[in-house]
Structure 1
Amino acid sequence: MTDVFSDIVNNILACCEAVIDNHQHTQPFYNERGGSVWRLIPDPIMKHLVRVRVFDLPYRAGEFTESDIITPVVDLLTKRKHLLLNFMMELLRTKLLYADASFYKDRQAFPHARFANVWDKWSKANIGCPFWLPS
C-alpha cells in the first residue's frame, strides 16, 4: 500500500473504529495499479470475534464495485481485541516515527487528534487496550 493513492492511517483508523463499535466496514486501499479492499464483518453470535476478508483489486486504482470483490485472498476469523492491538500498535509506531523529519517528508500529515480519539474510545470500550496513550 502507498499513501499516494490512499490515506492509509485514516483508513486504518476507520477500520479500528468499526471494530470498536462492532460494525461491518468495507475499506479500500489503492495502489498504482489496483489495490485491495478490506471487509470487516462482526460475528453475529460471538461478539468478541470479527471476520477479516481481503480482496485484490489488480487493475483498477481509485474505484471498485461489489462485483470486484467476490473471492477473498485472505479470509480469517480473529478476536476483535487482537486485531485492534495489532492495528493500534502499528499506528502508535507510525506516530512515533513521525517525530523524525526524514520519515514524514513527502508523506501525508499524521492525524494526531483522530488517533488520540480512537485510542481513547478503545481504552473505554474494554476491548484489550493495554495502557493509556502516552503523551
Structure 2
Amino acid sequence: MCSDVSKADERIQLYFNFDLHGWSELIFVHRGQISGFRVSGVFTDAPAALLDICDAVLTNSATRVALCDEPGGIVVEVTPDAKQPHTVILSVYEIAPQLAGFDANETGRLVMTTRLKRRRLVGMLLTELWKSHEFLSEPSYQRGRVYFPHARLSKTNESWNQSGLGPSFLT
C-alpha cells in the first residue's frame, strides 16, 4: 500500500470501530485495498492514541503512536512537511506478531505511506471518534465497552475549531 507521496491523497478513507471488551479496529481504505488492524485495550487506549494523532496534526508536529494487538500491531506515524504545511505524511508500520505491548519507537515493516491534507486527516479521525462518543449515550451500546475519553474528545474538537484548520464540522 505504499505510494507516491508527492500529492495529497484525496481518496483514502479511515474508519475506527470502538468494539466490545476492549477491542477496537482501525481500518484504512487506500488505493482499492482494505487493511484492518485490531487493537487490544489491554495494551492500548485506542481512542486516546487517535486523539494524540489529531493533537499532533492540529499543532503540525510529528508523532508516533503504537496500536498493539495480541500480539503484533502497528505504529502510526505522522510527519509534517515544512514545504507543504497544509499536509502531513501518514505512515503505518506493521510490528512483528511475536511482540506484544510494544511502544511507538518500535520499528516495523512499512505497509502504507501517503500524504494527506491535515484538515482531512483530523476530520476523518475525529468523525470516527465522534460516532462512538454519540453512540455511547445509548445504554445498549455502552454494554461491554470500556472507558471512552469524552472530555478529551470535546477538547480536541474545540482545538480544531479554534485552529487554522477549523472550524470543526462536528457539534
1:114 paired residue number: 152
Deviations for 1:97-130, whole angstroms, at most 9, x for unmatched residues? 1122232323221111111110000000031434
Paired AA for residue 49 in structure 1: T
Q: 1:28-67 alignment to 2 at 5 Å?
A: 28-59=66-97, 60-64=99-103, 66=105
**Please, what TM-score do these two structures have when normalized by structure 1?**
0.88
Unpaired runs of at least 5, structure 1: none
Give distance in 2, aligned partners of 1:64 and 1:27: 8
Higher helix share: 1
RMSD: 1.7
Give distance in 1, aligned partners of 2:106 and 2:137: 41
2:53 paired residue number: 15
2:139 paired residue number: 101
Contact 1:85 1:128 in 2 (8 A): no
**Please, what TM-score do these two structures have when normalized by structure 2?**
0.71
Unpaired runs of at least 5, structure 2: 1-37
Q: Once the two structures are aligned, what percentage of the paired residues are identical?
A: 27
Deviations for 1:9-68, whole angstroms, at most 9, x for unmatched residues? 111001100000000000000011110000000012110000000000132111157562
Paired AA for residue 45 in structure 2: D
Q: 1:56-95 alignment to 2 at 5 Å?
A: 56-59=94-97, 60-64=99-103, 66=105, 68-69=107-108, 71-95=109-133
Count of residue pairs brought into register by the alignment: 132
